[in-house]
Amino acid sequence: MKINSLQDLLVEQLQDIYSAETQLVEALPKMAKAARAADLREAFESHLEETKGHVDRLNTIFQRLGIKAGSKLCKAMQGLVAEGDETIAQDAAPALHDAALIAAAQRVEHYEIAAYGCVRTYATLLGDDETASLLEETLEEEEDADDNLTDIAMNGLNEAGLKVGGGKVKK
């Protein structure tokens, strides 16, 4: 796709995000199954439902704009999901395994926050307030998901990981 305008860039980026979100719909159940802590598993399951809503919102935007949704592969998310799969397969104590899952999930959230922030700004600049509003709603949910993961990590999970193996930094 040749990008000749901000509108073209918006469409290209929305297609990329759509690919990212659909990949996450497949990945999040695996993350939830791998989580050892109940609150982390619940966070992944809850975010899966939100992610399905993100896909629905994107479909609404595509319909409004009269464009096709699924014509691009998000290679960045493909890589992040592959890293998540590696994390799932790691042999680690439960608290360390969950801490690693949080790290992998937060990488995904930060990618999504950046992506949604950009497309929301493009929509705003283009005067498409309805699209900007839908994207802002998703952006806020992504930020909340990231904050929730931080809360889970900081409310004992990381400290439990510190206790594994003596918690000393090896030099």
> Considering the domain boundaries, does residue 38 fall inside one?
yes
> Considering the domain boundaries, does residue 48 fall inside one?
yes
Q: How many domains does the chain fold into?
A: 1
CATH number of the domain that residue 125 is part of: 1.20.1260.10
Range of the domain at 13: 6-162
pLDDT of 92-127, one tens digit each? 988 889 999 999 999 999 999 999 999 999 999 999
pLDDT of 130-167, one tens digit each? 999 999 999 999 999 999 999 998 887 666 665 666 55
**What's the pLDDT band for 2 if we cut at 50, 70, 90?**
confident
Which among 42, 51, 45 is positioned nearest to 77, based on CA atoms? Answer: 51
What is the structure's pLDDT at 159?
64
> Considering the domain boundaries, does residue 14 fall inside one?
yes
> Considering the domain boundaries, does residue 1 fall inside one?
no
Regarding predicted confidence, which is higher, 70 or 111? 111
What is the structure's pLDDT at 169?
47
Q: Average pLDDT of the chain? A: 92
